[in-house]
């Protein structure tokens, strides 16, 4: 037993922790949880906790259903009792999913990201990520009914008429209690829309943090009698919810993206990383934006990228290079603006990191930055200016994905095939429905 495991066992005893939640996700990023008595924890560290993998969609066939969860002691955190809605103290740990022979499960999204973290390490890099997570607070209406925002505030408004007063403050407190450092929070541009920014951490830890964030938001909202939704575009008339994520690579203590002699302090490594993301943008889109609804956000702009571009301080670009604190080496980073808040963070971050690393390895050239408001241009104008549009539907994104040897390698054959099969089914189910719009406009023909 290692020192981290011993620390967890001691903390459980000293803090009177009654239950342990073992967390992992399915392929789409849906959080799965098993409640364990603390008496079983030492055995779980040594041998894993068994579960029926065939019951998790996309994990295992019936004949291969025996699967194990290995708790990662570095992710141990106590869940705040006011968020957990329980009087009994509980803690959580994320798990790596493995097969009975100890080999990593081919269906575990966390392992997909871990492979890219190791690939970065082989090249001398560690990757940090810092997301700006947007979501809506809506009233607790029946499922399927039109959503109603909890307030009608705007950007940076100091809301005084929230149905869930002080929600963001309580969320930030809960996050900090679980060791997740926040930077800012504010009301976003649209009624009911919130944003909370997380301070950078290594990319695997950050993916864990994003899932914890969603759990805490939904629990805190329920406690306040409202709902939190991370749906990419829940309202036709309002902006969608993004998860703009800042990425940087470090070589030891040195920021590999920083070059003090460059006009925008961006190194060749940083430029190749951006070029890699742009080069593979169409292939990774189905993973960074995995839902039918994701493309309602991307297709119609409103601070969402519509084309494969990069820019300096340009918020309409797919990849933005912020110009805050150019002289500060540790602050040099790039911001990927396509990701939405309903992505599986393990797969989405793995896709972005893999694309950037490929750009560095192959020394992809970087074109000139976009200076236009790209989202404000028509499709014809974008094409005339040489901009390539991002996929405008899940259908289009899946067509790019299924032809991508690059993404088959990143995801692994099992997840690649299941993801395509599952998402094609989602698209076909969506397109076969007869919508109220069609009935209103076509029944008289």
Rounded distance, CA 441 to CA 62, Å? 47
Rounded distance, CA 366 to CA 266, Å? 12
- pLDDT of residue 349 exceeding 80: yes
Q: Using 50, 70 and 90 to split pLDDT, how confident is the model at 57?
A: low
CA atoms within 13 A on the CB side of 244: 21
**pLDDT number for residue 159:** 58
> Do residue 393 and residue 275 come from a single domain?
yes
Q: Which residues pair with 203 in a beta bridge?
A: none
- pLDDT of residue 85 exceeding 90: no
Answer with the one of 80, 104, 128 that is the final residue of a domain.
104
**pLDDT number for residue 174:** 92
**339 falls within a domain:** yes
Q: Name the residue with tokens 């098993």.
A: 34
Rounded distance, CA 328 to CA 265, Å? 9
CATH number at residue 323: 3.30.590.10
**378 falls within a domain:** yes
**393 falls within a domain:** yes
Tell me the two tokens of residue 92.
Answer: 């959580």
**281 falls within a domain:** yes
**161-171: per-residue pLDDT in tens?**
566 668 888 89
> Do residue 130 and residue 85 come from a single domain?
no
Rounded distance, CA 299 to CA 391, Å? 8
**63 falls within a domain:** yes
For residue 438, what are the contacts with CB-CB under 8 A and spacing of at least 6? none
Residue numbers of the domain that contains 100: 3-104
CB 267 within 8 A of CB 318: no
For the chain, the average pLDDT equals: 91
Q: Using 50, 70 and 90 to split pLDDT, how confident is the model at 378?
A: confident
> Do residue 193 and residue 324 come from a single domain?
yes
CB 81 within 8 A of CB 89: yes
For residue 198, what are the contacts with CB-CB under 8 A and spacing of at least 6? 130, 131, 133, 175, 180, 181, 182, 183, 206, 209, 210, 213
The count of domains in the chain is 2
**pLDDT number for residue 63:** 36
Answer with the one of 104, 124, 153 that is the final residue of a domain.
104
Q: Name the residue with tokens 């100091």.
A: 158
**pLDDT number for residue 95:** 95
**33-49: per-residue pLDDT in tens?**
889 999 999 999 988 88
> Do residue 7 and residue 137 come from a single domain?
no
> Do residue 175 and residue 237 come from a single domain?
yes
- pLDDT of residue 84 exceeding 70: no
Q: Name the residue with tokens 């055995």.
A: 43
For residue 182, what are the contacts with CB-CB under 8 A and spacing of at least 6? 172, 175, 176, 196, 197, 198, 199
> Do residue 243 and residue 120 come from a single domain?
yes
**88 falls within a domain:** yes
- pLDDT of residue 350 exceeding 90: yes
**219-258: per-residue pLDDT in tens?**
989 988 899 999 999 999 999 999 999 999 999 999 999 9
- pLDDT of residue 16 exceeding 80: yes
């Amino acid at each position: 037993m290692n020192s981290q495991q011993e620390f967890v066992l001691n903390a459980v005893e000293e803090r009177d922790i009654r239950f342990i939640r073992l967390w992992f996700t399915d392929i789409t990023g849906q959080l799965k949880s098993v409640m364990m008595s603390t008496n079983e924890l030492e055995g779980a560290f040594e041998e894993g906790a068994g579960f029926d993998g065939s019951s998790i969609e996309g994990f295992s066939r019936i004949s291969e259903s025996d699967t194990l969860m290995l708790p990662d002691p570095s992710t141990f955190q106590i869940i705040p009792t006011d968020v957990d809605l329980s009087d009994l103290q509980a803690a959580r740990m994320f798990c790596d999913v493995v097969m009975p022979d100890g080999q990593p499960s081919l269906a575990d999204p966390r392992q997909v990201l871990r492979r890219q973290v190791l690939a970065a390490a082989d090249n001398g890099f560690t990757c940090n990520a810092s997301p700006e997570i947007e979501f809506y607070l809506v009233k607790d209406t029946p499922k399927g009914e039109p959503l109603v925002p909890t307030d009608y505030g705007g950007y940076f408004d100091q809301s005084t008429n929230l149905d869930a007063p002080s929600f963001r403050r309580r969320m930030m407190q809960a996050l900090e209690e679980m060791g997740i450092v926040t930077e800012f929070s504010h009301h976003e541009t649209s009624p009911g829309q919130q944003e909370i920014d997380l301070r950078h951490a290594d990319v695997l830890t950050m993916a864990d943090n994003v899932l914890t964030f969603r759990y805490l938001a939904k629990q805190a909202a329920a406690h306040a009698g409202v709902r939190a939704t991370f749906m990419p575009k829940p309202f036709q008339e309002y902006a969608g919810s993004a998860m703009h994520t800042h990425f940087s690579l470090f070589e030891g203590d040195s920021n590999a993206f920083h070059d003090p002699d460059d006009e925008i302090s961006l190194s060749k490594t940083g430029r190749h990383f951006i070029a890699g993301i742009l080069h593979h943008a169409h292939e990774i889109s189905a993973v960074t934006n995995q839902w039918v609804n994701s493309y309602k956000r991307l297709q119609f702009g409103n601070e969402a990228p519509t084309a494969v571009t990069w820019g300096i301080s340009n918020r309409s670009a797919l990849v933005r290079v912020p110009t805050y604190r150019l002289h500060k080496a540790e602050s040099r980073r790039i911001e990927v603006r396509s990701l939405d808040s309903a992505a599986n963070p393990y797969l989405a971050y793995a896709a972005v990191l893999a694309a950037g690393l490929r750009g560095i390895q192959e020394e992809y050239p970087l074109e000139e930055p976009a200076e236009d408001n790209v989202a404000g241009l028509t499709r014809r104008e974008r094409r005339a200016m040489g901009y390539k549009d991002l996929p405008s539907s899940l259908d289009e994104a899946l067509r790019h994905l299924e032809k991508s040897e690059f993404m088959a390698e990143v995801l692994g054959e099992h997840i690649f095939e299941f993801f395509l099969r599952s998402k094609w089914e989602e698209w076909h189910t969506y397109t076969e429905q007869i919508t109220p719009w069609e009935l209103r406009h076509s029944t008289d023909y």
